[in-house]
Amino acid sequence: MPTATSTSQATEFLRRTESRLLELSIESQQASWVYSTFITSDTEALAAKAYSRLIAATVELAKESTGLPPESLSDVDRRKVRLLRLSLPLIAPSDPAASGELTQTVTQMEGTYSRGRHTPIGAREPVDLQGLSRILAESRDPVLLEDAWAGWHAVGRGIRKDFVRYVDLANRGARELGFEDTGAMWRSKYDMPPASFAREVDRLWEEVRPLYVALHAYVRRRLREIYGADHVPERGPIPAHLLGNMWAQSWEALTPRLAPPRSTPPIDLTRILQDRHTTAEGMVRYAEAFFISLGLPPLPESFWTRSMLLRPKDREVVCHASAWDVDLVEDLRIKMCIEITGEDFHTVHHELGHNFYQRAYANQPYLFRDSAHDGFHEAVGDTISLSVTPEYLERIGLIERAPDASGDLDLLLFRALEKIAFLPFGLVVDKWRWEVFSGAIRPEELNASWWALRERYQGIAPVRARDETEFDAGAKYHVPANVPYMRYFLAHILQFQFHRALAGVIGSVGPLHRASIYGSKEAGRRLLAMLEMGSSRDWRDALESLTGERRMEARGLLEYFAPLKAWLDQQNQGVPVGW
């Protein structure tokens, strides 16, 4: 039986821990915000030092928590201690010099990435990632596409050496907490043993793989028709630079070239927004109004004065879209270089999903101020984005009348090119890193192993040979920035599971891809009940509160895309499938 003394000691330890980490987290968030919105060597150093203090305190307290007698902990406190040990994706070694080197290395990698530029063929000035991505999305010239793709991927060369050192230092820190390596630590965050989680991910992939393979076969055939046999093989992987995205992680830019013929023109949301002279703030106001329609309160006034919605003209910034909760209570912000496009319209809805989730769990204790698991945080915003349907656009006045659902193959194809195409990439980023952290992939084979996994899961390959002087994984933000990526794969499963459940709440009787919860207070109440839990409960409890299910399932995704799968199977008759 626990003694009163041991119980009070555990309670006091957790009170002190949560108070100290909240203070350091705010300091680190503030420094990181300044660095991300004003990149200089000074702001980089300040952000690194603040993050180093947070990491050092977290590691110190996590190690101290191992001395608490298990019998002194209530179930709630036991969960807090577990989350404390898993609260950071990066654990620095206890040696002060190594700790400082690790945080500086990560900050340095992110800075190298953010300063990446390339001068495309025919251009006079270097172009950043956004400009190069625009070439990938809009050009049909394979020479220009290859140049833009290779030009951006060169950024990895300057990251490779730092990455190797980061892996070594990060693993040292993870092992001090009792984990086999950093990858095992990341997999331990999901309320199950690391090996069980890896099997769970494989199960989900096998459920959705047939749909991806069908989409891949259709896209490969159509690209071969567009670019010819010299550029696209009849069988085998698709060249990565032809898929409309810098990382071939989503292919929706190809929609105009690949969509089936239709009798009515598709909704051009980009043109509609631009014709209405929509501003960056206006884009965010649309998204805020969606959440208000569900019965949630408006964003605080400070959101509008402190967020970064446009790329500044006078300084370097990190344009990668992100949502921030600086004080973990009400100081909500987004950082994004908004462009007036349909894509960014969806992205803004997604980012506000993070902000409204952050505010919903603000009343939880500090260690529970997070999502049920990290896939939930990503899935909530994407669930809202799935409700950006023609009916929603009609209700908010962006179109006069929603077209009939009978012509929705192009809409479903667009969604599949965006979301189904993403699934194997969402797996590969962390499957690759898990093997790097474990030592299964050695430093001298980083690039070869990266492309081997991408061919195995995605069925894509680089157009030109890539040797070990390159570091193509480093051309993806989340790798140099030390951001675990499996959350995005899980979110692409969960969002459809959430959407299917909420469609049932509102009594939707049409096809799942046309259901929108906009304006439903009951859907808002059901959603908010899950959001308010934060991470205070096992994620299966949170999932059950919204969906009635205790296992992540792909049924919602497969139902959503069932009409498209039938059409793809027809289109692929007599066509090579797989690679």
Distance CA 478, CA 320 (A): 10
The residues, any chain, with a CB within 8 Å of residue 282's CB and separated by 6 or more, are: none
Q: Which residues pair with 118 in a beta bridge?
A: 127
Angle at 48 between CA 46 and CA 54, to 5 degrees: 105
The residues, any chain, with a CB within 8 Å of residue 33's CB and separated by 6 or more, are: 324, 326, 333, 335
Catalytic (active site) residue 277: no
Side-chain half-sphere exposure of 514, counting CA atoms within 13 A: 16
Burial of 390 (0-12, 13-18, 19+ CB in 10 A): buried
Distance CA 474, CA 153 (A): 8
Q: Taking each helix axis as running N to C, give the angle between helix 521-533 and helix 374-386, from 0 to 180 degrees, rounded to the nearest 10.
A: 170
The residues, any chain, with a CB within 8 Å of residue 4's CB and separated by 6 or more, are: none
Going through 311-454 in order, the beta strands assigned E by DSSP cover 322-325, 332-335
Distance CA 255, CA 113 (A): 29
Contact 397, 261 (CB under 8 A): no
Among residues 488, 487, 530, the alpha carbon closest in space to that of 505 is found at 530
Of the residues 176, 478, 532, 549, which is catalytic?
Answer: 478
Q: Taking each helix axis as running N to C, give the angle between helix 157-176 and helix 41-65, from 0 to 180 degrees, rounded to the nearest 10.
A: 20
Q: Which residues pair with 127 in a beta bridge?
A: 118
Q: What is the CA radius of gyration of the chain?
A: 24
Distance CA 556, CA 511 (A): 12
Phi, psi dihedral angles at 53 (to 5 degrees): -65, -40
Phi, psi dihedral angles at 460 (to 5 degrees): -130, 160
Contact 258, 413 (CB under 8 A): yes
Of the residues 44, 351, 378, 553, which is catalytic?
Answer: 351
Distance CA 353, CA 506 (A): 19
Among residues 568, 565, 563, 555, the alpha carbon closest in space to that of 503 is found at 555
Task: Give percent helix, percent strand, percent coil of the chain, each to the nearest 5.
Answer: 65, 5, 35
Stated as kind and residue range, the H or E segment containing 461 is: strand 460-461
Angle at 310 between CA 306 and CA 314, to 5 degrees: 95
Q: 3-state class of 373 per DSSP?
A: coil
Catalytic (active site) residue 478: yes
The residues, any chain, with a CB within 8 Å of residue 280's CB and separated by 6 or more, are: 309, 310, 338, 340
Helical H runs in 228-341?
Answer: 255-258, 269-275, 280-293, 301-306
Which residues are annotated as catalytic?
A: 351, 478
